Structure 1
Amino acid sequence: MQSAASLLEAVDWDNHPLGPREAWPETLGMVVNSLLGSPESMYLVWGSERVFMFNDAYRPILGPRLEAAQGARFEDLWADAWPSVEPMFLKAEAGEASRVIDMFIPMERYGEPEDTWWTFSYTPVRDDAGAVLGVLCITNETTGKMRTEAAHAEAVAQQELLNHELSHRVKNIMSMVQAIAAQSLKSVQDQGAVRTFEDRLIALGHAHDVLLQHQWRPASVRSVIGPMLDLHDGRGQVAVEGPNVLLAADASLSLSLLLHELATNAAKYGALSVEAGRVSLSWRIEGERFVLDWRETGGPPAAAPARKGFGSRLISTGLRAAREAELIYAPHGFSARFTAPLERMTRD
């Protein structure tokens, strides 16, 4: 492929409106030399005839127009793009520089309509008196980037649609399970146990909602905690504090179910059962460990459960079944510390 300089040399300038190169204005010669030596993709449009000249970095953009491009009239060479760039170009000829990012320009470089995007600037070239002699353009095609971003946006939109459908179906399944349980267990004398089962299904549904919102990618501790506490903290009795930690999907489900059991117990027997009660929920990272603290104050004295049901076993199991749970039943209230390997909490 011929260089831009050799293509420029091949033009019959003696019979060109611009005239022989040796007769060109000094300003034009300096600008052309700078243009040819620049690694940036650039072109120059000179004079009232709008003579087009380009450098090596610009060559790939021309496609089949390459051989005839040097010395051509700008709006004839780029007739397909001219309607899009004309307003900016005319402003540059009038002395106003401008720049655009990712501008859409329809073209037909290869004989077929083509959607393209460009980031470019127009800068007036002036003589010593300030008169505009030409326009210099630095340009880069961003079509590939824009298509990639569009494809990503479409994929995200499709994923959101799938997540919405999945969330809808999960909720329907949860509702069906609740209905089946209600029918199957309606003869059970202890309806409290049935309601507890239903509440756990609701908590699990909320946890799935959080994960679907994050497309089953890591979710922050706060985003997991929020829906769980909304079910139980109607009076603003829970204080939450901790750093921004992203939890893996399984860890998010584990934390959701654990907090549901803690909040349920607090609402029934502990600090959340009275107006003066308070709960402090905090978490931190200690070395390679994730530590979660639950502390209740201002409520009834805490006592260990007489029997261990599902909820008590789940609390004792701790985060992601790490079985690192320190439970304290004290006169001033219940408190617990749950510890798990950080890697286990943040990676599936």
Structure 2
Amino acid sequence: MEFQDRLAALAAKVKNQATAIGTEEATKNAFVMPFISTILGYDVFDPLEVIPEFTADVGTKKGEKVDYAIVRDGEVQILIECKASLGQLKIEHASQLFRYFSVTNARLAALTNGVVWEFYTDLDAPNRMDSKPFLVLDLLDIDETLIPEIQKLTKDSFDLDSIISAAGELKYVGALKREIAKQFREPSDEWIKFFTSRVYEGAFTQKVRDQFTALVGKATRQFLTESVNDRLKSALGVTSAPLNNASVSSEPVVAEDLDRDTEIETTLEELEGYQIVKAIACGEVKPQRITQRDAKSYFAVLLDDNNRKPIARLHFNGKQKFLGLLDPEKNETRHALESLEQIYQHAEAIREAVRRYA
């Protein structure tokens, strides 16, 4: 099995079992040891490769232990500290890693709850572990750009010099990506003010702030949708249709319109689900004919932007997500989704809906 396939298999296991794992010990057995063995390639039962409960007395701290130490050529290379899978990782959890980092030869340390893996090194000061990770791997949302870097940590491909040399860029690029994602989800005052100042020449009053808080959020969501649409069209070899006799008007912000627009919150999951339905439907009609409308109760995917031609409905507002499919009499059947990929299981019903209207 290829490295990426092994990573995907473990990610699927974590997704299915994470909520059932309640203790640190269970997390180690279910997620951490499989990661060390199947992903990194070290024998967890060979003390010459993996030392559990690794002890190295530090100053007045005697008998403290790090959960695992990975050894290569007789030297400790990676220290691993574990927490329960249901808990959020915090830098306070890494106290042993900080102390052990300075008294061992290890240049790498990992803090994990089995779901998220935070990897640290000593970029800021030699032999002193950084307070921020240079690489964060979330098994529930794997960033594929990080896979080659994770592979450098494996037994067969371990390359400490390459890892350290790439760590500086990884650290800041990863942090920037996470901050950008955070701003897209919940724009901060600084983000709102920055963009407002680029398009609005008046004073940045509280009223203007309130108006543009909604507008920046709306523009962000539309930008993401259009970017994904453009990539989908490019992948399908489709060019955008020209706008014949189309005009674009600009009007002042009207409070009533603003209130109406901001009552509906379009989520990234809804947009991702829409793109999956659209990709399926494009097997029957041109991509530009597949449109979407968000409503309070569901997110609709339509043919020709016509409410009388519903292809599917995404009910993503609750804890349980559903894909709604309608028969010729417009009777809706909801199908529970454990993941967005399960939409593909209903591909034929989606295509049939498109054929029915087209």
TM-score (norm 2): 0.25
Largest Rg, 1 or 2:
1
Q: Which has the higher strand share?
A: 1
TM-score (norm 1): 0.25
Higher-RCO chain (CA-CA 8 Å, sequence separation at least 6): 1
